[in-house]
Structure 1
Amino acid sequence: MIGECKKYEGWPAEPKVEPSEACCAVWQRANIPCLCAGVTEEKEKVWCMEKVVYVAKFCKKPLQPGYQCGSYTVPPVLGQ
């Protein structure tokens, strides 16, 4: 995940850039509960959770609204 996706999921929150196929391939194999359980306060200083949610959705393995990943709660989808 770090090698393939860091440039798409790090700070600052903008701009959001479409991730590479290699990054999406990593996301497709990711164990989301395990990944999110390992998100610490220190990691949240490196990884922009808003971008993590964007990349997950782009890669067709979205985090569900209300899901807790580290201290970040995935927001509801607007318009629903």
Structure 2
Amino acid sequence: MPATNVSYMTWVLVAAMLFSGSDIVSGQCQGSIQDLKICVPYFQKKGPKIPPSQACCDAIKGVDILCVCHHLPPDIGELISIEKVVFVLQVCREPLAPGTKCGSKNIKALLS
């Protein structure tokens, strides 16, 4: 399972970035942002793209991802791979439309 390859520091940093402001995001976005923590191993910067687990896809389907993307801090790309987030969303059949901005990245640029 990819989770064993994620360093403790990566978990701490990503969790801090994604979830420290989760009250703000949760208040504005539908679904439980906390449920997305199961997907963190698939978003790590190092290593290949790995198809997500069904549990990750289920978590994604329960959250308004477009809203979450809109509220991600611009520097989230320093901690996770937005390209891998786009890949995971596509695999889970919850793709973002070209032109969508997630964090500081334009999804159209990532799809080409």
Q: Give TM-score scaled by structure 2 length.
A: 0.61
Q: Which position in structure 1 is the counterpart of 2:80? A: 47
Deviation at 1:66, TM superposition (A): 1.2
TM-fit CA distance, 1:65: 1.1
Question: d(CA) in 2 for partners of 1:33 and 1:54?
Answer: 15
Residue 40 of structure 1, CA deviation: 1.1
Please name the residue that 2:22 is paired with. none
Partners of 1:38 and 1:68 lie apart in 2 by 10
Aligned to 1:8: 42
Instruction: Pick the structure with greater CA Rg.
Output: 2
In the aligned structure 2, how far is the partner of 1:68 from the partner of 1:41?
A: 10
Deviates more, 1:18-27 or 1:66-75: 66-75
Identity of aligned residues (%): 33
1:16-75 CA-to-partner distances (Å, cap 9, x unmatched) read 001001000011111123211221133221120000000000000001111111110012
The answer for unaligned runs of 5 or more in structure 2 is: 1-35
| Structure 1 residue ranges, 4+ long, deviating more than 2 angstroms after superposition | 75-78
Partner of 2:105: 72
Name which of structure 1's ranges 25-34 and 59-68 shifts more when overlaid on structure 2: 25-34
| C-alpha distance in 2 between matches for 1:70 and 1:42 | 7
Match of 1:17 in 2: 50
Unaligned runs of 5+ in 1: none
TM-score, length basis structure 1: 0.83
CA distance in structure 2 between the partners assigned to 1:5 and 1:64 by the alignment = 20
Q: Which has the higher contact order (CA 8 A, sep 6+)?
A: 1
Total equivalences in the alignment: 76
Alignment of 1:32-43 (within 5 A): 32-43=65-76
